[in-house]
Amino acid sequence: MAEDFNKDGMANTLIVAIGICLVCSIVVAGSAVGLRPLQMANKELDRKQNILRAAGMLGADATVAEDGRGVEDLFAEFEVRAVSLDTGVYMDDVDTALYDPIKAAKQDDASRELGPQEDRATLGRRENVSLVYLRRRDGALDKVVIPVRGYGLWGTLFGYLALEGDLNTVAGIGFYEHKETPGLGGEVDNTGWKAGWSGTRVFTADGTPSINLVKTRSPETSSAAAHEVDALSGATLTSRGIENLINFWTGELGFGPYLQRLKFESAQAQINPRRER
Ligand SMILES: Cc1cc2nc3c(=O)[nH]c(=O)nc-3n(C[C@H](O)[C@H](O)[C@H](O)COP(=O)(O)O)c2cc1C
């Protein structure tokens, strides 16, 4: 029998090749499944870092604060709430740890279609419920971070806008995903450019969202100056996209109703501290 065995024969070659393929596919599939929780954890950590950076609680490239506190510790200062974008009311039946507004925007029953006049951020659809991140200090509202997104030149930019407790002054901004060209629209990641946002006012006196990205600044004494941010040089289309997406998400179809309600509630809480929240 042993003499009949030909290790270089067709059958043997096939058995070895199939065996190797099987082992490799098990290793690849096993790694993909096994690493999934780690990937999810990294994605979640990245999301938290971006929110903290927008709020100015974590340096641009830092993973710990100056006082040595880590991301989880810092993020625990936020209260995460789900909000109906139509009414501005909290949706406490939504599990904020699992809810994904961007996924919801793709589902017909969890989002609404935006008409051409409405869709200034080129989203197509907008989720009915989104998430907000609130930080209070000594009982008073200190920061509110909202997720923002919209089309630039090459694709959708995804980021966070942080407002101070007055719900009008920008505390910071950051985009964690975009397709803009490095050196042109990609300068949205430039730390100096992002720093230029802080102190800018989002709303005019009558509550209209009014961020303008400009090539030439208005005189500092003019009312327009408070709403201006430097446009990105050589990237007019990205700049226009960012202007549109910020004005969309702070407007009536975005977090406008929520921010108005929160402003009213904060004012009420200052008059009567026991009525807070
Ligand atoms: C390869 C290439 C990449 C570009 N990337 C961007 C970009 O990311 N964002 C942008 O607004 N414009 C980009 N542009 C430039 C636009 O086509 C357009 O010229 C520019 O927005 C005009 O801006 P300006 O008026 O500030 O010069 C790119 C152009 C080329 C050729």
pLDDT in tens, 163-173: 999 999 999 99
Does 240 sit in the ligand 1 pocket, CB within 6 Å?
no
* More confident position, 95 or 273: 95
pLDDT bracket for residue 147 (50, 70, 90): very high
**How confident is residue 230, by pLDDT bands cut at 50, 70 and 90?**
very high
More confident site: 9 or 75: 75
Distance between Cα 181 and ligand 1 center (Å) = 8
pLDDT, mean over the chain: 93
pLDDT for the residue numbered 37: 81
Protein residue closest via CA to atom 25 of ligand 1 = 236
User: If pLDDT is split at 50, 70 and 90, which confidence band does 12 have?
Assistant: confident
**For range 153-174, the mean pLDDT:** 97
Q: Are 229 and 213 in contact, with CB atoms under 8 Å apart?
A: yes
* Mean local confidence (pLDDT), 173-181: 96
* Amino acid (one-letter) located at 60: A
CB of 243 closer than 6 angstroms to any ligand 1 atom? no
| Binding site membership of 236 for ligand 1 (Cβ less than 6 Å) | yes
pLDDT of 15 higher than 80: yes
Name the β-bridge partners of 150.
157
Average pLDDT for residues 28-51, to the nearest whole number?
Answer: 87
* Residue range 82-122, pLDDT digits in tens: 999 999 999 999 999 999 999 999 999 999 999 999 999 99
Question: Which range is least confidently modeled, 11-15, 220-224, 226-230?
Answer: 11-15
Sequence ranges of the domains in the chain: 1-70, 77-275
Q: How confident is the model at residue 2 (pLDDT cuts 50, 70, 90)?
A: low
pLDDT band at 56 (very low <50, low <70, confident <90, very high): very high
- pLDDT of the residue at 226: 96
Average pLDDT over residues 191-205: 96
Question: In this structure, which amino acid lies at residue 183?
Answer: G
Tell whether ligand 1 has an atom less than 6 A from the beta carbon of residue 188: no
Give the pLDDT of residue 243: 98
Closest Cα to atom 31 of ligand 1? 181
